[in-house]
Structure formats: C-alpha cells, structure tokens
Amino acid sequence: MQTDCISEQREFEGFDGHKVVAGFDGGAITSDAGMLLLRHTDKAIGLF
C-alpha cells in the first residue's frame, strides 16, 4: 500500500523556552524507530 508523505515541517507549542519542530523529510525510514528514540529520550531526561 502506498502512503502519502509530508515533506514540510510542522511547528508545535514549545516548552521551557525551546522551539519544537518536526520534519517529515527523513527519506526511507521505519515508523517504529522514531518511537524507540522518543522512549529512550523520555527515560533519560523526562521529556514527557
């Protein structure tokens, strides 16, 4: 099944004076890898 790709960036509400931007131009990547990275980042610094 073909998916629609978003090649632009999205800006989200920042926190603690930081800007939060998501870019969806990563090329051929898996959707699971990003969630693993976020989970480890959250455990390390309490991001969420």
CA atoms within 13 A on the CB side of 15: 2
Beta bridge partners of 22: 10
Distance CA 14, CA 6 (A): 21
Domain extent listing, the chain: 10-45
pLDDT at 38: 83
Sequence-separated (6 or more) residues with CB below 8 Å from residue 21 = 9, 10, 11, 12
Average pLDDT, the chain: 76
CB neighbours (10 Å) of residue 3?
6
pLDDT at 14: 80
Give the residue carrying structure tokens 């629609």: 4
pLDDT, block means (10 residues), the chain with 48 residues: 66 83 71 77 84
* Whether this model's pTM surpasses 0.75: no
DSSP state of 17: T
